[in-house]
Amino acid sequence: MTDRCRGRRFLITGASGFIGRAVCGRLLELGGEVCGSSRTPVEFASEKWQHLPADLSSATEVDRILETARPEFVIHLAGCVTGKREVEWVRETFAGNLESAVNVLVAAHRLGVSKTVLSGSLEEPAAGESFPVPTSPYAASKWCASGYARMMHALYAMNVAVARIFMVYGPGQNDLTKLIPYVCLSAARGESPKLTSGGRLVDWVFVDDVVEGLIRLALGGPNDGSHVDLGTGELVSTGEVARTICGIAGTGVAPEVGALPDRRMEQVRKADPEATRATLDWTATTSLTTGLRRTFEWYRDVKSVAEGSVS
């Protein structure tokens, strides 16, 4: 993809986040010119890197960063990522996910951006589901943002697509409350991680594969606001993932299954990799075992195992 990225200008929102940092780094490797927006600073050792701090729930600030960056492509990854069900998260996810996405879509259309990619979620009801109902504030906000993407194409001929991203994991995820970082650090310390029932089936996809998919989607693929799945199409339970990590750690611990309550209305969905291969020529290539081993080694070696904090 180097020839397709070299010298082309990208704006990545959420550049300080797990996926955003990885996308920015990969684009710089490919010779792209990168502008990154986030609330917190991000540093890359490149003269082609430009950081634009902003609160994307403000239309004025979004207009400012788009006018400053003048990107050819926008990959919108900023958002409020939480699976919590409490009503207190309704407004937080509305501002962080829906309001920000609408602001980005309108500003990108006004400035004639060639292609905008939104980050969707497996939490969203899939196209074709009977009587779909979002099962969390996060899912509702993402579902509505996807609807705005389709509207922007239908009414205004905007080039936009939604990457329906499944459960991303890998090195560099700083949210230590997420299952895989938590289990990696616990196992590295020789502590048994506490789990729910461990029965939820999840489509796990390695971060490097997701990065490649997002860049491919910015450069090609659907432009009509439709979803493109970025996942493996394989379901593995949370309990099995935790047991695999503990085995990789080799510290003799095992997960405490059932120590925590299950979250209400969690969905089981898997990607359609054949459809993605047909529309985007993309397939996840990192096996779960390989990805978990690389992830565990990163947390063991880079994170502070003694304190469980970001080094």
pLDDT in tens, 46-73: 666 889 999 999 999 999 999 999 999 9
Whether the pLDDT of residue 167 is over 80: the answer is yes
Q: How does the average pLDDT of the chain come out, rounded?
A: 91
From residue 243, how far is each of 3, 201, 236, 247 by CA, in Å? Answer: 42, 14, 11, 6
Task: Grade residue 131 by pLDDT with cuts at 50, 70 and 90.
Answer: low
- Say what the pLDDT of residue 85 is: 84
**Strand (E) positions, 195-282?**
201-202, 204-206, 224-230, 236-237
For residues 159-187, give the mean pLDDT: 95
From residue 23, how far is each of 17, 54, 130, 158, 213 by CA, in Å? Answer: 10, 18, 34, 23, 10
d(CA 54, CA 60): 10
pTM to 2 decimal places: 0.93
What letter does residue 125 receive in the DSSP assignment? P
Whether the pLDDT of residue 160 is over 90: the answer is yes
Whether the pLDDT of residue 300 is over 60: the answer is yes
Q: Which two tokens stand for residue 120?
A: 């969707």
pLDDT in tens, 248-268: 999 999 999 998 888 777 778
Give residue for tokens 């329906």: 164
Query: CA end-to-end span of the chain, whole Å?
Result: 33
For residues 212-241, give the mean pLDDT: 97
Task: For residue 163, give the nearest of 181, 145, 141 by alpha carbon.
Answer: 145
- Say what the pLDDT of residue 46 is: 63
Q: Other C-beta atoms within 10 Å of 133: how many?
A: 10
Q: What are the backbone dihedrals phi and psi of residue 231, each rounded to the nearest 5 degrees, phi first?
A: -165, 180
What CATH number is given for 2-167+206-233+270-285 in this structure? 3.40.50.720
- At a CB cut-off of 8 Å and minimum separation 6, what does 89 contact? 80, 82, 136, 137, 138
pLDDT in tens, 176-213: 989 999 999 999 999 999 999 989 999 999 999 999 99
Stretch (H or E) spanning 34:
strand 33-38
Q: Which two tokens stand for residue 188?
A: 């590295």
Which of 84 and 26 is assigned the larger pLDDT?
A: 26
pLDDT in tens, 8-48: 999 999 999 999 999 999 999 999 999 999 987 776 656 66
Whether the pLDDT of residue 227 is over 90: the answer is yes
269 contacts 134 by C-beta, under 8 angstroms: no
According to DSSP, the residues that pair with 37 across neighbouring strands are 13, 52
What letter does residue 261 receive in the DSSP assignment? P
